Amino acid sequence: MAQGLTSTNFHFPNQLSKYKGKVREVYDFGDRLAMIATDRISAFDVVLPEPIPHKGQVLNQVAEIFLKATNDIVPNWFETSPHPNVSIGKKCDPFPIEMVIRGYLTGHAWREYNEGKRLICGNAMPDGMREHDKFPEPIITPTTKAHQGHDQDISREEILAKSLIAENHLNLLEEYTFALFARGTEMATERGLILVDTKYEFGLYDNKIYLIDEVHTPDSSRYFYGDTYSELQSKGEPQKQLSKEFVREWLISEGFQGQEGQNIPDMSEERVEAISERYIELFENITGQKFVRDNYHDKLANIKTSIEKALQV
């Protein structure tokens, strides 16, 4: 089993700073960024102790495909991918909100609903719904972007009241979010999948809105298999999912939801391998392409060289 890419510690001549997120590491070169997708995996806003081999490559390459497939809707930050784990693009000033959009009552929305709540981020959820039922129309349920701890649900009204985003910008973000979700839904349908929910992040570059970060990846999105959805739903059976939700479900079954005092369960080598294979399966199902595993021999050196050549630093 490959070891996995846990972190990087590069020092480039023209590098201004480095930011380490839950999964990605971002090197700032002024007007451009080099973003490295590591094999770290997070759930409930907690980074789990074991890396998942090839996960970073999956995320980076899925994001590249969907960024290129949606740039007619909204421009995005991406310029080039010189290595399977690396993307380079424009440095945008990010909005402090993630635009989550949901087509189905699943995941966090279901957990809220199951506790008796019928309002999420200002959106009314109809009575009588079951887990994984389709909403009458997709709903946008934004969250704050926490640098530490949990992201928090926030309504449109609260975003405006706190002056987090100007109303004219928020209107555009909502318009782009619905359009991107519609495109993602179309592309998923072509692959026999259902795009259940996802999130988008946006920023400003030269006072223009750009789509940033990742798009329609297994970490940012949830998919169902289209051919079994109706039958499983009619029987009240769990949906077959292509997403990181299976990791969350395992953690919940082990008594972990990221709450204070809870211990992260041990991840055996067999479980790590199973998660890795699930990510590769997801790549191939979502994209329709065969996944070509990058070699971990000299991976760090190859990543560093690829960034130096692309940016000529």
Q: Give the tens place of pLDDT for each residue, 152-188.
A: 999 999 999 999 999 999 999 999 999 999 999 999 9
pLDDT for the residue 90 = 98
Rg of the chain over all Cα atoms, to the nearest angstrom: 19
Residue 149 confidence (pLDDT): 55
Confidence tier at 245 by pLDDT (50, 70, 90) = confident
Band (pLDDT 50/70/90 cuts) for residue 204 is: very high
Give the per-residue pLDDT at 40: 95
pLDDT at 217 over 60: yes
Kindly state the average pLDDT of the residues 289-306.
96
In the prediction, which pLDDT does 1 show? 52
Residue 240: its pLDDT value, please? 85
Look over the chain and give the mean of its residue pLDDT values, rounded to a whole number: 94
The pLDDT, as a whole number, for residue 2 is 63
Band of the pLDDT at 148, cuts 50, 70, 90? Answer: low
Q: pLDDT above 90 covers what percent of the chain?
A: 85
Contact 35, 24 (CB under 8 A): yes
34-39 average pLDDT score: 97
Mean pLDDT confidence for 48-71: 96
84-133 pLDDT per residue, tens: 999 999 999 999 999 999 999 998 999 999 999 999 999 999 999 999 99
In this model, does residue 17 exceed pLDDT 70?
Answer: yes
pLDDT computed for residue 150 by the predictor? 63
pLDDT of residue 51: 95
Q: Return the higher-pLDDT residue of 42 and 209.
A: 209
Give the domains, in start order, of the chain with CATH numbers.
17-93+270-311 (3.30.200.20), 96-243 (3.30.470.20)
